[in-house]
Chain A
Amino acid sequence: MTALSLVLVACANNKTHEGTIGTKTEKFSPFNPDSRLAKERTVYFDYNRYDVSPAFFDILKLHARYLSTHPQQEVRLEGNTDARGSSEYNLALGQRRSVAVSHILQQYGARRTQLEAISYGKERPTSYGHTEADYALNRRTDIQYIEK
């Protein structure tokens, strides 16, 4: 909780980009293909788990910092599941994963109004096989920056 508070303070003090929309020329930007924010936009989950592993806290902190300094920027958090089971129940399960990421981004300083948590359920796999390795790649939340 202490660590979290420090981050919140850090975000609050960072006013550099307040009110601006990210551009491709900005170095620290999800729209700059070389930026970590463009490259690392996926959080993976264990089987039947919906809690975000601490391994992803650092990158989520960076995304939240960007969002807090670009309050006009909106993102869609897209939860996904592996291929097993009903389409509709998986759609709701994927929502658990996008909501979990939404909560962490908010704790790190993103505003709720910037975030839309949705789910693709099992409908948009990145890996089409039926091995455990394929399933693991599909249990994820993608952070999608909305281009205006």
Chain B
Amino acid sequence: MLLPTAQADLSINLNSHGESKMISLTVAKFTGPQGEAMGKIIAQDLRLSGQFDIDESQLTLANNGIPNIREISLNKTSLTLVGHVFEKQVSYTLVDSISKKRLKTDTMPLGLLRKTAHTISNALYESITGAKGIFLTHIAFVQNNNLYVADFDGFNKQLIHASRQRLISPAWSPDGRYLAYVSFERNKPIVYIQDIKTRHRIIAANFKGNNSAPAWSPDGNTLAVALSRHALSNIYLIPSHKTAFNAQQITFSTQIDTEPVFFPNGSGIIFTSDRSGTPQLYRKGLSGGQAQRITFVGNQNVSPKISPDGKKVVYSTLRDGRYSIAIKTLGGSDEKAISSGPNDLSPSFAPNSTHILFLSNGQIGIANALNGQINYPNNLSKHITSAVWGPF
């Protein structure tokens, strides 16, 4: 139940630079069996979103889930969350610490602990910010040549494929059912597609030379890949449900064209090309026409990903010997630094177009594109060589 005042009171304030302010929130100690663990997961979710200053209280601030308003009004944070985990359900209440209003209160069935906690985090995030929460989404990542799928925070890690050789460039199908990736296990780069549930996999592209950089079309029927069959590296389209024997060439460079990504409406791609002498980002329509360069600052701009809302592109930029993550509006000239480097690579958008996952020296970082806050989940901190955020 969302009380009518919540949206108005709590929609994120934007400062004059269009950046969102941090919201201060006390997460009380949830009561009942599993209560403490539940409260901690919710607190960590909201912390990872980069939009909350979280104060984890040692106090319960409630009796059986009913908020103790007098205690709450002593909090210095603008919001307070209390909760109680019953045998088969969990109830929680979000209180405005100052006005003492109950902003949101709900009781829901208790399923798996982490899943229930993420569901509550989504509900809270949506009612506070007005935007969809990403706490039930998944990521794919590669660690020690093993391909894993996990919850967005790195928990519930499942092994999808153990490769004997390096595995790079995992890419989610739009429906979240398949991963395309490049594996070197046959001693050359080959593109595979694997079903996450059944683990069944097929070879998508195994042409002479390199087969790499898979990207899904928005309808899931086509893959764009980089092939070196006729030149150094050009971009081709192949079907996504069988091994390709033919590939439709869509870029025609004598230099390097690679790292394609589709626009969400399928009208074209953005890709990396060094036809100008340094690797830069270009856009090209699929109905023909010349490729247009879209990045001009930096010795390199590589690894583009387009936000699911189609408004922004994120990439890794090399300046003064440092790789960092930057974002720009498509069709605009603005650019915003997301991270400071020195070795920040392979960014990808969360499906809400607000959060960005990237790799920083083998560690996963989660950045908030609205305010530049970056968090590094502790359990995703070692030897990670590729990572990408999945769809809703």
Contact = CB atoms under 8 A, between A and B. Distances in A.
Interface residues of A, number: 22
A82 B213 CA distance: 19
Contact of A95 (B184, B208, B209, B386): B209
B209 A123 contact: no
Contacts of B213: 88, 91
A88 B211 CA distance: 10
B312 interface: no
Interface string B262-286: 0000000000101000010000000
Interface in A41-98: 76, 84-89, 91-93, 95-96
B93 interface: no
A123 B208 CA distance: 19
Interface in B149-196: 165-166, 168-169, 182, 184, 187-189
Contact of B346 (A87, A116, A123): A87
A118 B168 CA distance: 16
Interface string B314-352: 001010000100000000000000000000011000000
B25 interface: no
Contacts of A101: none
A118 B212 contact: no
A85 B188 contact: no
B302 interface: yes
Interface stretch (B5-13, B67-75, B225-233): B225-233
A95 B318 contact: no
Interface in B376-392: 385-386
Interface of A: 76, 84-89, 91-93, 95-96, 99, 116-121, 123-124, 144
Interface of B: 165-166, 168-169, 182, 184, 187-189, 208-210, 212-213, 226, 228, 232-233, 256, 258-259, 272, 274, 279, 300, 302-303, 316, 318, 323, 345-346, 385-386
Given A85-B300, A89-B259, 20 more contacts: A84-B323, A86-B303, A87-B168, A87-B169, A88-B212, A89-B256, A89-B272, A89-B302, A91-B168, A91-B226, A91-B233, A92-B210, A92-B232, A96-B256, A116-B208, A116-B209, A117-B228, A118-B210, A121-B189, A124-B166
